[in-house]
Amino acid sequence: MTNPAISPATKIKNKTSVKIYADCKDASLYVAQRIADLITKKGSKGEKTILGLATGSSPKQVYQELVRLHKNEGLSFKNVITFNLDEYYPMQPIEEQSYVSFMNKNLFDHIDILPQNIHIPDGSIALENIAAYCRQYEQNIANCGGLDFQLLGIGRTGHIGFNEPGALLKSITRLVTLNDLTREDASADFGGKEKVPVQAITMGIKTITQAREIVLLAWSSRKAGIVKQALEGNITADVPATYLQHLPNVEYVLDTEAASLLTK
């Protein structure tokens, strides 16, 4: 694997850890190996690994490498339990745009994870049942002892999960309204912005930040502006990703384009 372009990790603000790679492939290999090492370490002690997973373009190569490690190097996921960040609402799990379909296509169909250990928010439940469902999703995470590792991307609004501008630090799993820019960015997948759902179920900021390890991925110049705000801007609900700044257990893994506007 190519060494990161900046190594050891750069410090931006107090405890913030940043790794910048020449390209997203090498960055993804690093993150996948970090996840694999955690699974192996906990497995050697007979413990389960509780992973929080993300969707979108950013984690795809991470998942490709985890599949390769499973198929070629014997990495087992039988003792792994996963909780995905979010899902569009309403959304049937069989739909191509669902995050169930995304996760199956990019990861779950290619590894030996037990189906009962996979948790993805259900975008098909009745509206009146959502509050109770979200409370149970939180309880399921708590019953596992919390998340060992949370993988994140970042939206151009600064969202993590689907926690859009205005999300509170104390927020937990809930139904939210999607920002107009978020829906615009998803329009190609749906064949037009007007077909993108206006709501989603998402883990909250509190849920995410309670994970024992957090890695946020960002690739390409399209993310450079929001990465700069997230890492160097003031902590504010207007850019929910800034909530991560005060945490000692967060690492930002970027390619050179996404990091191009950072100054510190």
Catalytic center residues: 164
Residue whose tokens read 């509780």: 50
List the helix and strand counts (H, then E) for the chain. Answer: 8, 11
Q: Distance between CA 254 and CA 252 in Å, rounded? A: 6
The answer to whether 164 and 178 have CB atoms below 8 angstroms apart is yes
DSSP state of 160: B
List alpha helices for 210-264, DSSP H: 224-232
- Give Cβ neighbours of residue 70 (< 8 Å, ≥ 6 apart): 76, 77, 110, 111, 112
Q: What is the DSSP letter of 239?
A: B
Strand segments, DSSP code E, in 47-161 are 49-53, 80-84, 86-89, 118-119, 149-152
Q: From CA 54, how far away is CA 99, in angstroms rounded?
A: 9
**Cα–Cα distance measured from residue 54 to residue 62, given in angstroms and rounded to the nearest whole number:** 11
